[in-house]
Structures are given as structure tokens and as C-alpha cells.
Amino acid sequence: MQTTVKRPSTVRRGAAGLAFAAALAAMATGAASAPAVAADAPPAPAYDFSDCPDIPAGVEAADWKCEVLTATGSLTLGSRSIPELAPMTITHAEGPLPDGSDGQVWGALRSAPSSVPGGLSGHASSRNPLLSLSLRPEYGGRSDFYSVGNSLGLFTLRFRVLSPLLAHSCVIGADNPVELHLKRAGDSQWVSKNPPVITFDAYDDAFTVPAADGCGPLGRLVNDRLGLSAASGNAITLSAQYTFKTYDQLPPR
């Protein structure tokens, strides 16, 4: 089980789906300002709770939620844009600790690679599979899933750079992960109340991206093709769905 983050109960700011879903948990528990369920809402998706982490000893299962978020969107790192990110699924748990402070436990991030247009050649017309280039997001090791207003907390990512010509160790942010401070864009909408499913959009266009490391002899080419490192011009936009279950609703482990 991952390290639990503690916060004094006097500064609790409300639970969240993840760094960029934090504000939604208060809405999911019945906040008066929550939007109405759309009359023609599609059936809620089937969410997988198998990545729910173990919760700390001594806490009440009914007070802890396992939160699952799926998101797609677009990404710009340096000089390259990926217009359609592969779906990401992010799971974590949160609830009150025995001393009354807030606790969080990381679960997992799952995503397939997203193809980088132009690949290693830099030419969109290239069809050589050896020159293909993809990025796969991985958890960067640090997060804060609490929010204030439309500021949706902190979430860090690394991006594994994948190509037949590159070592598996080629990573953007291996030692210095990309730090996202996402903001909610527009209003959230309930898709379903049972199970609880909420949709929302989020973005960040003010983060920095380090150069890729561990790429072997082609490291300089990788960073040249991606325009890294990049202190500005980076952006991520996400469209997400978020749901949760309390731990007394989950099957026994």
C-alpha cells in the first residue's frame, strides 16, 4: 500500500476523483449546486474497480471511497502535438484517517501508448515502422487530490518514449516528472446517479517539460524531434468521466 497523505481536518477541502477531478466529489455527495442529470443521458459505462488499493488499518470502510476516472484528450509537449490521447484510467482511494485528518492512497494509472505524428523522422508522411514514436503516460509519484474552486490539485506524470529504435529506459520526466496543476473548464454534468457518474473537462497550459533521458544514442534526436526541454508552449486538455464506490460496497479481497 502506498504512503497515506495526511491533512488536518480543519483544512479539508473536499474529496476528488484525482488531481483534475477533485472538485467533483463534493458534488457527487449531494452538493446543492450539482447539475441535473441529463434527460437523455447514455447508459453509464462499466467501471473496473480491481485497482482499488488497500486502505489504512483502523479506518471505516463505509467512509472511504475508491475513485475511478477515465479520460481522453489532447497533449502538446514541446513542438509536437498528439490530437487524440489514448484513454487513461486512474484509480485512488480517499477518506478520513482515525485521527480525523484526510487520507489518500494511490491505486494505479493505466493507459496505452499514443502515437506521435511524424515519428522520429519528423515527417507526417513517413510510414516506416522503425521510425514510429509513441508516448505512454505513467504515474510520476506525487499527487494531491484536493482542490480549491476550479483549481483541481496536483498530479505528476512521466512519459515513456516508445520506438523500435529506442531503449525501454527512454523517459520524459524520469527524475523530474511533469507537474500538472489542472483547472476545470466549464460545468460538470451528472450522467448517472446510480452508479454515480459525472463528466467534466480540464486543462493545464502552464507546465514545463524536461528533456527525455535514458534514450541511448538517439537521445539527442528524440529531444530534437519533440522540441524538449520546453519551458512553455505545453498543454493538455482532458474530457473525463468519474465514478466511485465506498469500500463497504466492494467485494471482499
Out of 15-19, 45-49, 83-87, pick the least confident: 15-19
Residue 77 pLDDT > 80, yes or no?
yes
pLDDT tier for residue 76 given thresholds of 50, 70 and 90: very high
DSSP symbol at 209: B
Could you read off the pLDDT of 113-159 as tens digits, one per residue?
999 999 999 887 678 898 999 999 999 999 887 778 888 889 999 99
At position 92, the amino acid (one-letter code) is: H
Cβ neighbours of residue 158 under 8 Å, at least 6 residues apart? 137, 138, 139, 140, 171, 172, 173, 174, 177, 178
Cα separation, 240 vs 220, in Å, equals 34
For residue 45, the model assigns a pLDDT of 52
Q: Does a cis peptide bond (omega within 30 degrees of 0) precede residue 169?
A: no
Average pLDDT, the chain: 84
Query: Which of residues 43 and 126 earns the better pLDDT score?
Result: 126
| CA 248/CA 112 separation, integer angstroms | 31
Answer yes or no: is pLDDT of 206 > 60.
Answer: yes
How far is it, in rounded angstroms, from Cα 223 to Cα 52?
36
Q: Dihedral of the CA atoms 29, 105, 5, 85 (nearest 10)?
A: -80
DSSP 8-state symbol, 129 = G
Percentage of the chain lying above the pLDDT 90 cut: 69
What pLDDT, in 10s, does the model give residues 2-17?
Answer: 444 443 333 333 333 3
Residue 210: all three cell numbers together: 524536461
* Pairing state between β 171-172 and 154-162: antiparallel
Burial (CB < 10 A; 0-12, 13-18, 19+), residue 162, is: middle
CA atoms within 13 A on the CB side of 107: 25
* Residue 41 scores a pLDDT above 50: no
Q: 155 or 253: whose pLDDT is higher? A: 155
Q: Write out the three cell numbers for 13.
A: 477541502
Global pTM reads 0.80
Residue 246: which of 41, 79, 57, 15 has the closest Cα? 15
Is the model's pLDDT at 67 over the cut of 70?
A: yes
**19-28, 88-97, 187-196: segment of lowest average pLDDT:** 19-28
